[in-house]
Amino acid sequence: MFSVGNLFRASERKVESTCIHCNKCVEICPFDAIKPDFTTRVTDCTLCQTCGGVCPTHAIKFVERWNVVELKAVGDPPTGETSLGRRGFLSLAAGATAAVVGGATVALVTKATGAQRPGNEFNLPVRPPGSVPEAEFLQLCIRCGECFKACPNNVLQPEGFQQGLEGLWTPLVEADWAGCASSCNACGQVCPTGAIRALPLEEKRVARMGLAIVNQETCLPFANREACQLCVDECVAAGYHAIEFTRVHTRSDADGNPIPGSGFLAPVVLPDQCVGCGLCQMRCHHSNVGHQRLLEASAIVVEAGPGYEDRLSTGSYLELRRREAGRRVLSSPDASSGDAYFVPDLDPVAPPEEAPPPNTMDDDNPFGLPE
C-alpha cells in the first residue's frame, strides 16, 4: 500500500553521473530499492537516505522528482528490469489486493453494523430539525462539520459508533449538553447538501426532532421523592407549552376524600405539541444530575423514531401540523372548530397586520376589541 502512495511522490532518490559503480549503495539498502544500474525502484524506496551516507563520490541526492541535472545514464550496467520492477509489481499487486479486500470488508462491516433504521431494535439518533429521512440523510451528509460550527449552543455533536460505521461523524442532538434554541435555524442554512433542510424559523419551530419521554420510575414527583417542575418551566420559557402537570401520590383523609394540596405535581408531555427540542432534558440533567446529584441520568429524555419525529424531504411542517390538528378535531366530540393548529407561542409581539389599531378605546368598546 505504501508502494501505491510512492507513485504520487514529490521527491525521490537520484544518482548523478559521478557514480563509480562501487555497489556500496546496493549492499547497504535495507529495502532492496536500488537496481543493478544503481538507479531507484521508486515503489520500494522509503527515502531513508542510508545509501547516500556510504556513497564515496556523493553521487546520490534526494531531490524533486522532476530534477534531471547531471544524472547517470539509465541501464548502465543493464538491469533487465521493467520500469516498475519485479518487486514493485509484487508490491503493487499486493497493495491492490489488500485495497480490494479491505474495501469489501469495510463495506460488509458497514452493512452489518450500519446505522440503525426504523424497525431495528435501537432507537434512531435525534437528528437536527429539518433533517430528511434517515436513509436519505446518511447518503446526503458528507460529515463536513459545518452544522457543528454553526450551532450556537453546541447541541449538535458528532456521532460516534453508537449506531455503527454508517452513522459515524453525522450530527445528532446531545440534549444532556444543551437544547435546540427555538430562535435558531443555523444548521439548515449552512448544510451544503440538503441533509438538513434550510427551513424558515416558523417552519423550524414546528418540525419535530423527537418526543420527550418521562421516566416515571426516576422522575422526582412520580417517584414520590420531592416536588420538581424544572422541565415544565423550561418548556414554558421556550414558548412550546408542551408539558403540563398531573397530581400524583395524593393522600386521603379518614373518609376517603383526597386531601387538598397533598402529593406532587408531576410532568406529562403533550405529544401533539412537543417538538423534541431537548431543553427539558438539558435542564433536568444539569440540575438534578450535575448540580444536585439527585439522579444518575435525566428523568426526561428525547427519543426519535417512527411516530416521534418528522422527517420530510419536501413539503411544509406547518401544513403537516394543520392536517394533524384537523384530524384530532374531527375525532374529538367536543371540538367546535377545525381551524386551530399548534404553533408555539414564540413571538412576543403580534405582526403589524394583526395588531389592534391605536386609539380605538371608547365608552362602548373600552378594550379596543374588533367588532
Cα separation of 135 and 125, whole Å?
13
Cα separation of 330 and 335, whole Å?
7
**Which residue ranges does the chain devote to CATH 3.30.70.20?**
1-112, 115-209, 211-251+259-303
Arithmetic mean of pLDDT, 219-240: 96
Whether 138 has a pLDDT exceeding 70, the answer reads yes
| Banded pLDDT at 65 (limits 50, 70, 90) | confident
Cα separation of 278 and 281, whole Å?
5
Taking CA 259 as the corner, what is the angle to CA 257 and CA 262, rounded to the nearest 5 degrees? 140
Whether 8 has a pLDDT exceeding 90, the answer reads no
Query: May I ask the CATH architecture of the domain 115-209?
Result: 2-Layer Sandwich (3.30)
Contacts of 112 (CB under 8 A, 6+ apart): none
Cα separation of 360 and 371, whole Å?
11
- Asked whether the beta carbons of 179 and 282 are under 8 A apart, the reply is yes
pTM over 0.75: no
Arithmetic mean of pLDDT, 280-291: 97
Whether 369 has a pLDDT exceeding 70, the answer reads no
Whether 366 has a pLDDT exceeding 50, the answer reads no
Cα separation of 57 and 102, whole Å?
45
Most confident listed range (5-14, 21-30, 121-130) = 21-30
Among the residue ranges 21-35, 121-135, 183-197, the one predicted with the least confidence is 121-135
DSSP state of 258: B
Is the domain spanning 1-112 CATH 3.30.70.3150? The answer is no
| Banded pLDDT at 332 (limits 50, 70, 90) | low
Cα separation of 155 and 187, whole Å?
11
| Banded pLDDT at 339 (limits 50, 70, 90) | very low
Residue 110's pLDDT is 53
Most confident listed range (33-37, 92-96, 169-173) = 169-173
| DSSP notation for 308-344 | T----SSS-HHHHHHHHHHHHHHH-TT---S------
* CATH number at 211-251+259-303: 3.30.70.20
Of the candidates 227, 325, 207, the residue with the CA atom closest to the CA atom of residue 267 = 227
Cα separation of 325 and 342, whole Å?
7
- Asked whether the beta carbons of 25 and 60 are under 8 A apart, the reply is yes
